[in-house]
A = this chain, B = another copy of it.
Amino acid sequence: MGEFELIVRYFKRPTRHAVLGIGDDCALLQPTPGCQMAISSDMLVEGRHFFADVDPFALGHKALAVNLSDLAACGARPLAFTLALALPKADAAWLEPFSRGLLSLADAHDCELVGGDTTKGPLNICITVFGEVPVVNGRSQALLRSGAKVGDDIYVSGTLGDARLALEGLRGQLALPQGLLARARQRLETPTPRIALGMALRGIATAAIDVSDGLLGDLGHVLEASNVGACIDTTIAIGLMACDADDLEAATTPAARLACILAGGDDYELAFTASPDVRDAVQNAAAASSTRVTRIGQIQTETGLRLVDAQGAPITNLYRSFDHFA
């Protein structure tokens, strides 16, 4: 199977929205008048972002999901993406499920594959995704990291920490029962990008980010960009995992769970801030997008991020978020 046959067989489909899709020097998109184009790019490397033996269907899903999650954090509507793929060999048994996983998530978000590149090399998946955000009365509706205000509530979507729990189980760092590991692994391998929630939070949230490297580290970017501080209630945070509480309590310590939740990474949930005046609007946005949101803290004047216990007493923050080169 040659390069062009590979593209045609697994990745090329009739274009729907794009002016021009796969097959020329460039893809062509016609931007919607009055919208800005939101762009994000993520690269996934074998042994770093996924295990060599990961299910290729799940990998196809995740490769796009982590990019869509960036659009979600921005409140953008997905339009299209490019895929650059380095493969050790053109293996149909891998390419077929990989492309199915990728394109089924793409279809679910009406996000079209419009171009890219294929080459031989150590397995590497680089996706660049394009979305649109409206500009209303001269004001971009994009959610940025820089808009958090003192007094704002801090929320997270969905659940946190299960992906890291699975990683620790798969690495043999934690002994987990099969059932618990299997459920946690679903969160690690097939995260859900919160596109509908991000779009519903336009004009409501003051700032947003997607949780990819760990909640505290990612929230730290919001605090830095907004020049504010925050306080997080660990007694609420400890309840944020998706897996069954009894199973979790039997297999893990509270400290291990809190570490997974606060600094685990690979969650692809949204952390966002909003004024206490719009709590109803936040809950409506959550309901409209069928996504649970949990209020976990508050933006404060004093810079830095503080953790408190049930009594509001500060607890030491020992958590670090993920850095590829640290």
Contact = CB atoms under 8 A, between A and B. Distances in A.
Interface of A: 1-4, 6, 19-20, 23-31, 33, 35-49, 70-71, 73-74, 76, 80, 82-87, 89-90, 114-122, 124, 126, 128, 130-131, 133, 135, 140, 142, 144-146, 208-210, 225, 323-326
B119 A324 contact: yes
A255 B144 CA distance: 59
13 contacts: A3-B324, A3-B325, A25-B71, A25-B145, A25-B208, A26-B70, A28-B133, A28-B142, A39-B114, A41-B82, A42-B84, A45-B120, A48-B119
A325 B119 CA distance: 8
Contacts of A73: 25-26
Max count, chain B CB within 10 A of own CB: residue among A2, A47, A76, A124:
A124
A208 to B, nearest CB: 8
At the interface, is chain A mostly helix, strand, loop or mixed? strand
Given A3-B323, A45-B122, A86-B45, A36 B40 contact: no
A72 B323 CA distance: 37
Contact of A90 (B4, B144, B325): B325
Contacts of A84: 41-43, 126, 128
Contacts of A86: 43, 45, 124
A43 B126 contact: yes
Contacts of A117: 41-43, 126
A40 B27 contact: yes
